[in-house]
A and B are shown apart, each in its own frame.
Chain A
Amino acid sequence: MKKIFQLFLLAVIVFLNGCMNIDTQILDEIQLSSATGYDLVDEDQYEVTVVYPVYESGGGVKNKTLTTTDNLSKEVRDKLNLKSEKPLVSGKLEVALYSRELAEKGISLILDSLTRDPSVGSNVMIGVADGSTKEILEQQYGETDNGIFLSDLIEQNMEAGVIPKTNLHLFMYGNYAEGLDPIAPIIGLSEDELTLKAIGLFDSDRLVGHVDEKDFSLLRVLMEHKSKRDSFSLEINDHEKVSISSMGTTLNYKVSNPMEMSDITIHLKIKAYIREYIDGGLKKIKKQQIEKAFEKDIKERGDALVKQFQELGIDPLGVGEEVRTRSRNWDVKKWDDLYPEISIHIVPEVNITETGVLE
């Protein structure tokens, strides 16, 4: 009896594998698309560009692009396959770029094709292209695959503490969350060089504004509850320039009366060391003075940033999320009415613990 059962089990495994619907996708017999770009042609016609690497036997990589236009992105893949000698697969997609015009119209419909596909990972980078995505993707950047180049460009800056963390997962989270809006980096070509130009601010899935380079690290420390290696620089007066780098920042929200028209205070603690100090000949570092100056600067810029968000009616910092976790009677509609009017203060506290080795 046991023998029969064992044989039955084996037979199930052997014969039911047809039902598992597993297709072979041998690595060198598929075309691994590494980046896609979406441009708006007219009302609901997209132009889709796909980049895939062609590996040469000598070790080099050549990027090839395929472009087609259609109105739904999975049908686009079928159309693209008509032009490709091997089946295009999206499992190694690294970056998805959307042109500014498209992003301003909203991208959730196109994003659906990425989030619904199980082979696409959730750490795909989402980016907004300043200009045509086709133009960006058709360039050859160095010796590497364009998709890897683009994702490394964004990832490296995320890890170095320049821009806030972003990827498909975080973007979709920001998109769906009630008290939070997503961000995405804006990438553009300037003199044939690819640059991270700004950080795009989204209202759910529509691009509505952006933050410039000077506020990158401020946005980062305000968005993340704990972060490291964010740098701030300041010109205290004509002959004194200071640059500090954080060893750790902590963010604390004080919401006294959630869902009421009362003040919200954001305490920002920055533990930092001095990275650069041009003092015009002065030897002694006036630590307290520098701390005060930074606190003042961060407060001013932070308040301005929050004002900008409130005017746009967006919440990339997740103030709404903080309120939601503190209130029993959470109501999105009521919060959306409250948010632009509520007063949000940023109270920074800079603590310089190290002044570097040269003293």
Chain B
Amino acid sequence: MNHATRRGNATFGVLLVLIGVSIAILNAVAFHPGAGTQWTKRTEHVHTLEDGSDVRWTEHEAVSVKEGREMAALQQDAAPLLSRTAGLWGAAILTLCIFSFLLGDNPLYKAAEAIVVGASAAYWMVIGFWETIVPNLFAGLFPDWTRANFMPKLSAEASVDFLLLIPLALSVLLLLRLAPKIGWISRWPTAFIIGVFCGLRFISSLEADFLSQIGPTIKPLIVMGENGFDLESSFSNIVLVLGTLVCLVYFFFSVEHKGAVGKVARSGIWMLMITFGAAFGYTVMGRIALLAGRFEFLFDDWLWLIDPKDAHPAQVFLQTIAPMLT
């Protein structure tokens, strides 16, 4: 693909996003007023501290547009929330940016890709700090300080666990990788991690994927049911047993794959190909489900063209198309 074609495709991609956003804005203004808004029910909370001072905060609980409008009509505190509405529009626009890659690599796709990667990395860091370092390390080594600053519900009986100094030391050693001169020290904690997981996996794989699989593979080739010969189960068992055997023969390289062994090994390849085909079929199913999920988000939450969850007041697409179908 030459430079001009690539540039043309990129322009198409950017145009797709811009057209999509323009249509959505037109839709939200002219056809479905308010489309793409997110409503919340607001609740004010007040908590009195030990020193008598009050701490106030507002809780925004997501409600559907329909529920929100009904609450607003009853003078309850529900209204569209700008930050969540912006979030929904952002999600929709980023979806279009990602789709635009199908027409060609373009700056909007690159931006969306960078946002996904950056947001994921930041999320992992925050979660890692609050869900791992604070409760697993700080709470064990400095319980009083952690209770005072991070975890007020931490038990007052929690004592210092000096064993946690070992994982702390290993973590610090792992970070030495960032220092080129002494980076080799990080191999020690890495070796520890690999050793532990090899041991864990060896036992579990042997039990779950080898020993436990032997029994279910030994099946009767002729199954007799309540009404006599059971053709379906018999066929299923024959395919299972023969399939296992021919695949095992294919992976048996101590004997040259010639003659009868070669023919059996070849049927093993066929069996593997069928397995890969089934896996590919499932993958296709998964990808279509994901695409359908994104389309449903765009048509339902963003554009209000459909309303399967009875969440907002518009079903105009169906109402428009129904007379044409009948």
Same complex: no
B interface, CB within 8 angstroms of A: none
A interface, CB within 8 angstroms of B: none
